[in-house]
Amino acid sequence: MTRRGYFAAGGGLLLAAVVVAIVLVTTLGSGAHARKASSSAPLAASFSNPALRLTGSAALGWMFLRGPRFEELRSPDATAVIFIYSPGRSLTASQLVATGLASISAKYTGVSIAPGGESSLGGLPAKSRVVSALNAHRVPVRILVIGARGAHLNYLLEGVTAERGPAQDLAGVQQIVQGLRLSG
């Protein structure tokens, strides 16, 4: 069954988190694509996912992959990835974050989870954590994990950048996350 088929069949949050972890482990590679840091590009490309009740903007060059329950954004050099998933209304923000952290802990080594707390995602109250870990290529990565609960949908966001990656990747992830609008 294809990845899209799993999501369409309601494969669940854990499957989504595992898929995200696998994608992130393979795409962040060895860090060989690191570019010289520069100021972040202006937000220019709008995106929306009606099924997720999600809208936002990203710098030109970011790539988008959409499914019925997810939206994935990748930086032009694929060294930063943002994955937004909605399991519907089944879990609380804390449960979403805990599930995301469990998946990360199973797929990465040297996992260190910084204390998090209350935050906001797309205008919704949220819980968040920041993770430092090593991917399959032993490259240090930072992972932002946010769980938010809306009136109709819940959301899990994972944003991953190489720890020593270009500053513009981290700035791009921050701009996208801060600019998200969720109406679920």
Question: Would you state the pLDDT for residue 120?
Answer: 93
Pairwise CA distance, residues 87 & 85, whole Å: 7
- Better-scored residue on pLDDT, 60 or 180: 180
For 149-175, what is each residue's pLDDT tens digit?
999 999 999 999 998 887 778 888 999
Question: Would you state the pLDDT for residue 29?
Answer: 43
Task: Read off the pLDDT band of 42 (50, 70, 90).
Answer: low
% of the chain residues with pLDDT over 70 = 77
Question: Would you state the pLDDT for residue 18?
Answer: 34
For 86-126, what is each residue's pLDDT tens digit?
988 888 999 999 999 999 999 999 999 998 889 999 999 99
Please, what are the domains in the chain? 3-30+40-110+123-182 (2.60.120.1690)
175 in Cβ contact with 40 (< 8 Å): yes
Mean pLDDT estimate for the chain: 80
pTM of the predicted model as reported, rounded to 2 decimal places: 0.76
Q: How far is CA 76 from CA 55, 83, 136, in A?
A: 20, 15, 21
